[in-house]
Amino acid sequence: MTAVIALAQFGVNPQSGIANAPHWGWYVVLYFFLGGLAGGCYFIASLLALLGDPRDRPAIRLGYLIAFPLVVICGILLIIDLGVPLRFWHMLIESQHVPKLMFKGWSPISVGSWALTAFGFFAFVSFVGVLVASGRIRKPLLVRLDARAREAPRPLAVLWGILGAFFGFFLAGYTGVLVTASGEAVWHNAQLLGALFLTSAASTSYALLLLLLLRRGASCADPTLTKLARADRWAIALEILVLTIMLVGLGGLARPFITGGFGIVFWLGVVLIGLLAPLVLHWRAHHPGDAHRNVKLAATCTLVGGLLLRFVIVMSPQWPTVKPWFL
């Protein structure tokens, strides 16, 4: 019974696993945005680690350091949004049969809860590993464990990286799939939302890493930054393509996204500032001038656009039942 209550409070029909019309606000918007950043940064760091270029180590460490704190924040946001925070553990364990685990394959919430938990484990281990390697954690036991992990055979290290990257990849796109599982017509028919949120997570994660590396003193001529900037341009271009196909496929159902007050936010904030401006600024960074400023501004615009994208997608179909400032 408690599991049914927990699912119902989270906006999911406990019989079908299909979400009822939700009342989602900024807690969910921020969860979608930060979850995409967490998964995207971890995926990028794992990919760079697998490629094995020693020049990428600062970006790898930074990606791992970012992912775990963001996962913690995401967990807190979900617990608060649940409505009955003390029952959050019901999503993972059957309260009447402790310690029996609860997994409902038909429920997007259940699948997502376990994916977030698994990703949190990988993110935590990588986070601690960076702190140990940098000397910020000097506990003998952790130092020994880290040394053994680094001496592990290459295939095991590759497997660990692939699994962690998979869960990061899953989390980045899962948030969009969760939205389409709702009974709301606009969301339910936007079947490319998972791909859209995934490409957006990639572009915003590349942007965040670029911005932080630049603030730490890296140069735009740095091979890693050149690599990240190139990947960010491709991610933005792919995001534009997926967004265009999704809107065309929705037809008239796309009106909540592209018209009215939310339409202004969409066209100015998401499309102009979040997608087109970064491409122009990245292009200008190749020409003589202030490349450092252009790349920083491009990364900032991408992050703002990624947040506004989730705001428009989540809030516009709920208007006027749910106000734009609803938490």
For the chain, what are the domain ranges? 2-318
Query: 87: pLDDT confidence band, cut at 50, 70 and 90?
Result: low
The two tokens of residue 271 are 């499309």
Output the pTM of the full model: 0.87
pLDDT in tens, 230-248: 999 999 999 999 999 999 9
Our measurement of the distance from residue 99's CA atom to the centroid of its chain's CA atoms, rounded to an integer in Å, reads 30
Our measurement of the distance from residue 36's CA atom to the centroid of its chain's CA atoms, rounded to an integer in Å, reads 1
Query: Can you tell me the distance from the alpha carbon of 254 to that of 26, in angstroms, rounded to the nearest whole number?
Result: 21
Our measurement of the distance from residue 113's CA atom to the centroid of its chain's CA atoms, rounded to an integer in Å, reads 14
Q: Give per-residue burial for 267-280: e unless 16+ CB within 10 Å, then b.
A: eebbbebbbebbbe
Percent of the chain with pLDDT over 70: 83
Helix (H, G, I), strand (E, B) or coil at 242: helix
Q: What is the mean pLDDT of residues 38-44?
A: 94
Helix axes 223-250, 277-284, angle to 10 degrees: 150
Neighbours of 142 (CB within 10 A): 14
pLDDT in tens, 1-25: 223 333 344 445 444 444 456 788 9
pLDDT in tens, 161-191: 888 888 888 888 888 888 887 778 899 899 8
Give residue 150's pLDDT.
Answer: 79
CA atoms within 13 A on the CB side of 148: 6
> What is the amino acid identity at position 220?
C
Mean predicted lDDT score pLDDT of the chain: 85
Instruction: Find out whether 302 and 274 touch, Cβ atoms under 8 Å.
Output: yes
Query: Can you tell me the distance from the alpha carbon of 173 to that of 199, in angstroms, rounded to the nearest whole number?
Result: 8
CATH of 2-318, one of 1.10.1740.10, 3.40.250.10, 1.20.1630.10, 1.25.40.10: 1.20.1630.10
Query: Can you tell me the distance from the alpha carbon of 1 to that of 96, in angstroms, rounded to the nearest whole number?
Result: 8
Instruction: Find out whether 218 and 57 touch, Cβ atoms under 8 Å.
Output: no
Our measurement of the distance from residue 87's CA atom to the centroid of its chain's CA atoms, rounded to an integer in Å, reads 24
Short-list 210, 244, 118, CA closest to 169:
118
Instruction: Find out whether 32 and 197 touch, Cβ atoms under 8 Å.
Output: yes
Helix (H, G, I), strand (E, B) or coil at 263: helix
Give residue 148's pLDDT.
Answer: 82
The two tokens of residue 284 are 């200008």
Instruction: Find out whether 152 and 146 touch, Cβ atoms under 8 Å.
Output: no
The two tokens of residue 166 are 């998979």
